[in-house]
C-alpha cells in the first residue's frame, strides 16, 4: 500500500513539473525579450524626467554574438513612464534586477531627489544595495563616457564606488537604502559621492611640451604628405585622426568629492580632503593613506584601523555637547625625503613628531568640517537623530536649534601599529 502511494506521489510531482515547464519555463526570464538594465542616469527638464538606461542585450548562440550593450534615453512625467518608453521604442521589457547603479544629474539634485527615487524604492526587483551617486553635470554624459577598462561605463563606475574604495578612504559610497534612511531620519540630511569623468592621464608641464612638439611634427608631416600624396592617402590620414580622437575621448571615473543633501536637495559639497576627514568618522578604514607634514617633510601614514565614537550629552543650562573620539592605528608608509638604511629597515619606527602632527591636523580638519556642515544646515553627524534616541526628554525643547547651538569637543589619538 505504501509503495503505491509513493508511486502516485512521484507521478503527481512529475506532472506538476511538466506543466510548469511547458507553460512558463519554470518562471525563468525570457532573455530574448528582456533588456537587462545595468545602470540608470536621471536628469530633469522642467516637469519631465530624462532617464538614460544602460542595458545589456542578450544574444542567442545561433546568432553567433556575445551580449551587446546599448543606451536608451526616454522621457516621462514620472520615472515609471520613462521606463515604459523603453518597451515602446525597442520592444524590450526593462528588468532592474541586475541594476547596481543609479546616477542623479545636477538638474535632478536641484529638487527633491526622492521625486524620482521613489520609483526605485517601490520596485520589488531592485536591490536595496544598489549604489547611488550624483554628478556635477548630466547623468547622461556620465553613462555615455567611454572607459578604457570596461566596455560598460556603468560597471566601471561601480568599481570606483566599491567597498574596497571605501576602506582605503578614497570615496564615501552610499546605497539606495542608506540614503533613504538618512532622508527619513530626524535630520533629513545625507550625502552621496560625486562621480566625475576625467582623462586617464593628468596633464603635466612635460606632457604639454611633448604634446606641442608632437602636434608641430604632425602638422609638418601632414603638410608634406598633402603636397605629395593622392586623395586615397588623404582619406587614410583623416581616418587615422578620427581613430586617435576616439581614443582620446576615453575617460576614467573618480568620486573623491561628496555632495551634501538636506530634504533631498543638494546644498553643498565636500572637497577630497574633507571627504577623507569624514571617512575617519563614518567608514571602517583599512590601508588608507593619510598625509602629514612634520619639519617641512611630507609623510604618508598607512591607516590600519580607526575607532570612532560619537556621544551627544546635555550639560548645564541645557547645552548640547557632541564629543567625537577617534583612535587611529597607523604605521609609516612613505616619506618625501630619503631615510637612512636603519629607518627603512625598521618599518615600525615612525619619526618623532609625526603622530602628534597627525593628531593636530585631523582634529583641526574635524572642527572645520563640522562648522561647514553646521553652516549648510546639514546634520550628517546625526545630532537630531541621536537627541531623539538618547536624550528624548530634551527632544522637543532642542530639536529645532540643536544644530546651531551644539558645542563640539574632539579627541584624536594616533597610535603606532607596533
Domains contained in the chain, CATH given: 29-198 (no CATH), 272-416 (3.30.300.210)
User: Among the listed ranges 11-20, 291-300, 318-327, which one has the minimum average pLDDT value?
Assistant: 11-20
- Residues 360-379, mean pLDDT to the nearest whole number: 97
CA distance 219 to 213: 10
Of 162, 156, 132, the residue nearest 253 (C-alpha): 156
Interatomic CA distance for residues 396 and 37, integer angstroms? 45
pLDDT at 196: 94
What is the overall mean pLDDT for the chain? Answer: 83
Residue 266 confidence (pLDDT): 97
The dihedral formed by the CA atoms of 40, 44, 49 and 52, expressed in degrees to the nearest 10: -30
Band (35; pLDDT cuts 50, 70, 90): low
Whole-number pLDDT of residue 412: 97
The C-alpha cell 520609483 sits at: 119
Instruction: Determine the average pLDDT of the residues in 94-121.
Output: 92
Alpha-carbon span 235 to 343, nearest angstrom:
61
Residue with cell 537630531: 384
Of 37, 34, 27, 56, nearest in space to 119 by CA: 37
Bigger pLDDT: 110 vs 128? 110
Element (H, E) at 271: none
Mean pLDDT of 190-219: 67
| Contacts made by residues 289-293, CB under 8 angstroms, sequence distance 24+ | 289/168, 289/169, 289/333, 290/169, 290/330, 290/358, 290/362, 292/354, 292/357, 292/358, 292/361, 293/357, 293/361
pLDDT tens column, 351-368:
889 999 999 999 999 999
Q: How confident is the model at residue 295 (pLDDT cuts 50, 70, 90)?
A: confident
* Tens digits of residue pLDDT in 234-256: 444 444 444 444 445 788 999 99
Range among 147-151, 195-199, 342-346, 371-375 rated most confident: 371-375
Q: In what order do the strands lie in the sheet with 288-294?
A: 288-294, 297-315, 319-335, 407-416
Mean pLDDT of 42-60: 84
Cell of 180: 533613504
Over residues 117-138, the pLDDT tens digits come to 999 988 877 888 899 999 999 9
In terms of Cα–Cα distance, which of 55, 56, 59 is closest to 41?
55
- Residue 138 sits at φ, ψ, to 5 deg, of -95, 135
Highest mean pLDDT among 340-344, 349-353, 410-414: 410-414
- Least-confidence region, from 33-47, 69-83, 264-278, 391-405: 33-47
Bridge partner list, 70: 55
Res 150: pLDDT: 83
CA distance 98 to 123: 12
* Nine-digit cell string for 191: 550625502
Amino acid at each position: 500500500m505504501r509503495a503505491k502511494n509513493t508511486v502516485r506521489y512521484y507521478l503527481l510531482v512529475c506532472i506538476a513539473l511538466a506543466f510548469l515547464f511547458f507553460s512558463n519555463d519554470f518562471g525563468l526570464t525570457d532573455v530574448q525579450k528582456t533588456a537587462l538594465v545595468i545602470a540608470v542616469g536621471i536628469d530633469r527638464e522642467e516637469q519631465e524626467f530624462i532617464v538614460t538606461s544602460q542595458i545589456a542585450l542578450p544574444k542567442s548562440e545561433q546568432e553567433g554574438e556575445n551580449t551587446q550593450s546599448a543606451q536608451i534615453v526616454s522621457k516621462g512625467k514620472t520615472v515609471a513612464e520613462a521606463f515604459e518608453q523603453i518597451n515602446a521604442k525597442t520592444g524590450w521589457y526593462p528588468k532592474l534586477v541586475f541594476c547596481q547603479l543609479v546616477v542623479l544629474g545636477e538638474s535632478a539634485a536641484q529638487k527633491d531627489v526622492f521625486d524620482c527615487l521613489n520609483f526605485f524604492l517601490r520596485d520589488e526587483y531592485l536591490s536595496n544595495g544598489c549604489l547611488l551617486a550624483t554628478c556635477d553635470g548630466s547623468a547622461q554624459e556620465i553613462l555615455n563616457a567611454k572607459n578604457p577598462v570596461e566596455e560598460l561605463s556603468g560597471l566601471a563606475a561601480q568599481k570606483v564606488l566599491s567597498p574596497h574604495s571605501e576602506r582605503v578612504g578614497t570615496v564615501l559610497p552610499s546605497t539606495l537604502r542608506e540614503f533613504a534612511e538618512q532622508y527619513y531620519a530626524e535630520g533629513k540630511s545625507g550625502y552621496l559621492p560625486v562621480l566625475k569623468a576625467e582623462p586617464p592621464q593628468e596633464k603635466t608641464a612635460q606632457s604639454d611640451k611633448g604634446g606641442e612638439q608632437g602636434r608641430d611634427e604632425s602638422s609638418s608631416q601632414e603638410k608634406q604628405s598633402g603636397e605629395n600624396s593622392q586623395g586615397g592617402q588623404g582619406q587614410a590620414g583623416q581616418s587615422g585622426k578620427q581613430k586617435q580622437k576616439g581614443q582620446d575621448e576615453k575617460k576614467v571615473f573618480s568620486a573623491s568629492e561628496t555632495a551634501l543633501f538636506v530634504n533631498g536637495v543638494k546644498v553643498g559639497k565636500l572637497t577630497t580632503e574633507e571627504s577623507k576627514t569624514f571617512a575617519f568618522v563614518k567608514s571602517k578604514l583599512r590601508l588608507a593613506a593619510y598625509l602629514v607634514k612634520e619639519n617641512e617633510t611630507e609623510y604618508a601614514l598607512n591607516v590600519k584601523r580607526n575607532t570612532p565614537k560619537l556621544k551627544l550629552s546635555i550639560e548645564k543650562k541645557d547645552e548640547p555637547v557632541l564629543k567625537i573620539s577617534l583612535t587611529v592605528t597607523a604605521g609609516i608608509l612613505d616619506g618625501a625625503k630619503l631615510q637612512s638604511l636603519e629607518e627603512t629597515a625598521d618599518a615600525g619606527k615612525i619619526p618623532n613628531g609625526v603622530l602628534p602632527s597627525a593628531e593636530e591636523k585631523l582634529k583641526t580638519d574635524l572642527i572645520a568640517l563640522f562648522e561647514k556642515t553646521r553652516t549648510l544646515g546639514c546634520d550628517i553627524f546625526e545630532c537630531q537623530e541621536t537627541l531623539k534616541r538618547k536624550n528624548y526628554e530634551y527632544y522637543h525643547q532642542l530639536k529645532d536649534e540643536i544644530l546651531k547651538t551644539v558645542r563640539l569637543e574632539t579627541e584624536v589619538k594616533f597610535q603606532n601599529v607596533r
